[in-house]
Amino acid sequence: MEYFLQQLINAVTLGSIYGLIAIGYTMVYGIIGMINFAHGDVFMIGGFMSLIGFLLCAMLGISSAPLAVVLVLLLAMAFTAVFGWTIERVAYRPLRGSFRLAPLISAIGVSIALQNYVQLAQGARPKPHTSLVQGGFTLYSANGFDVRVSWLQIVIVVLTVALMAGFTLVIGRTALGRQQRACEQDMKMASLLGVNVDRTISLTFMMGAALAAVAGMMFMMYYGVIDFFVGFLAGIKAFTAAVLGGIGSLPGAILGGLLIGLIEVFWAAYFSSEYKDVAAFGVLVLVLIFRPTGLLGRPELEKV
């Protein structure tokens, strides 16, 4: 029981990180119907940016942990947002309106380019990092087993829930969100109503990238290590999470992330850690067979 609870806490943390990345996939897909396969690498860049940010903070003598975390978070989000903007501008926008696979291939190219760039600029070896947010508390102990929650885990989960709620509100209730949805549903009509479609798409990419930066930072702090390749697997898992939850749905992205986290952690805990990814992808296949739109995907109830 205690072991189960501990694994549950770990799974929710991991799932939250996946969920944060998945939101980026889902938002971009929701608006321009494209899978941004470079998103995982933007997440990785966010992780590296926060590593560099923490080093800068240390150099500048900023020793207050909350202050440093907030500063680095803002820095990483701003920097990756610029990355997101640039990627869309350089690699996707020129291909808009060409055949469907073109931007996908371009995205894979961007992904490889980013990985190689970071590998060259930062080296291939994993970079360790000692998190500023240490410690936690014992939830309860029994049978000689402590169920512990770290402060960082709480930060991760709270941040994820807050960001999901915030972005759901932005998309569902604000003028910007309405314009984003309008672009998703009919770009030409949106522009006939005065919406600058290019600008709206750029903003969407920047929002997605900024979220990936949050995830990258949390990932780096949680695991205490980062390298140029982390974006690949995390990106694929987050993509899986987005599809599982129903691509296009923000709560779906978080739900999918949590499910992938749970499956992965519990499979590793109770069966074998080698097959944890197989289990996660297996569930994806099953869900898609029975619910092709994903768990929270919108059923198509429009009339023609």
Q: How many CB atoms lie within 10 A of CB 193?
A: 9
Smallest distance, other proteins to C-beta of residue 300, A: 9
Cα of 99 vs its chain's centroid, Å: 27
Kindly tell me which of 131 and 191 has the beta carbon lying closer to other proteins. Answer: 191
Amino acid identity, position 99: F
Nearest to 45 by CA among 146, 157, 122: 122
8 binds other proteins (CB under 8 A): no
User: Between residue 168 and residue 197, which ones bind other proteins under the rule CB under 8 A?
Assistant: 175, 178-179, 181-182, 185-186, 188-197
Residue 64 DSSP class: -
301 binds other proteins (CB under 8 A): yes
Smallest distance, other proteins to C-beta of residue 107, A: 25
Give the x/- contact pattern for other proteins in 196-225, rule: CB under 8 A.
xx----------------------------
Smallest distance, other proteins to C-beta of residue 250, A: 14
Kindly tell me which of 125 and 188 has the beta carbon lying closer to other proteins. Answer: 188
User: Between residue 118 and residue 177, which ones bind other proteins under the rule CB under 8 A?
Assistant: 175
Kindly tell me which of 59 and 192 has the beta carbon lying closer to other proteins. Answer: 192
Helix axes 2-32, 230-245, angle to 10 degrees: 80
Smallest distance, other proteins to C-beta of residue 302, A: 4
302 binds other proteins (CB under 8 A): yes
Q: How many CB atoms lie within 10 A of CB 120?
A: 10
Smallest distance, other proteins to C-beta of residue 190, A: 8
Query: Helices marked H in 123-196 — which ranges?
Result: 151-173, 175-185, 187-192
Kindly tell me which of 101 and 175 has the beta carbon lying closer to other proteins. Answer: 175
Kindly tell me which of 121 and 175 has the beta carbon lying closer to other proteins. Answer: 175
User: Between residue 44 and residue 83, which ones bind other proteins under the rule CB under 8 A?
Assistant: none
Give the x/- contact pattern for other proteins in 269-298, rule: CB under 8 A.
-----------------------------x
Kindly tell me which of 274 and 302 has the beta carbon lying closer to other proteins. Answer: 302
Kindly tell me which of 13 and 180 has the beta carbon lying closer to other proteins. Answer: 180
Burial state string for 125-144 with b = 16 or more CB within 10 A and e = fewer than 16: eebebebbbeeeeeeeeeee
**What is the binding site for other proteins (CB under 8 A)?**
175, 178-179, 181-182, 185-186, 188-197, 298, 301-303
